[in-house]
Amino acid sequence: MNRDLICIICPRGCMLHVEEQNGELCVSGNACPRGKQYAIDECTNPLRTITSIVRVSNREDTMVSVKTANPIPKGKIFDAMEKIRAVSVEAPVKIGDVILNDVFGADIVATKDVE
Ligand code: SF4
């Protein structure tokens, strides 16, 4: 495997190069260890935090913003979005309220208050 990617962990945006040597992934171009871990994760089990909105059923034309409480596998994003689209909540909603439990390993939580 040979792969180039940009580290998105911090604004510096290091250009990373990943090469497989003797069954191990070797990372270069990273200015710190977080970049190395990011590159390895990206090549073996890429994860993403997703954001979306959920309808508030007892408020006219109102949505509440939500996100995964922790990253989920990148390959599950569309399935997770389907689950999020299928639910609605009732106000009041507080930041951090769990809207959906365990969607591919992450709770879906509110990111704003709706009174
Ligand atoms: S490798 Fe380290 S310094 Fe470079 S972008 Fe990633 S986190 Fe930032």
Query: What CATH number is given to the structural domain containing 104?
Result: 3.10.530.10
CA 42-19-23 angle, 5° bins: 90
6 CA to centre of ligand 1 in angstroms: 9
pLDDT of residue 81: 97
CA 32-72-50 angle, 5° bins: 95
- Same domain for 66 and 19, yes or no, is no
Domain that residue 71 falls in: 51-110
pLDDT of residue 48: 93
Q: Is the CB of 15 under 6 A from ligand 1?
A: no
12 CA to centre of ligand 1 in angstroms: 6
Tens-place pLDDT, residues 17-69: 999 999 999 999 999 999 999 999 999 989 999 999 999 999 999 999 999 99
Among protein residues, the one whose CA lies closest to atom 6 of ligand 1: 35
pLDDT of residue 11: 97
Our count of domains for the chain comes to 2
Per the confidence metrics, is the pTM higher than 0.85?
Answer: no
Q: Is the CB of 27 under 6 A from ligand 1?
A: no
pLDDT above 90: residue 1? no
Task: Calculate what percentage of the chain has a pLDDT beyond 70.
Answer: 100
Q: From the alpha carbon of 35, which atom of ligand 1 is closest?
A: 1
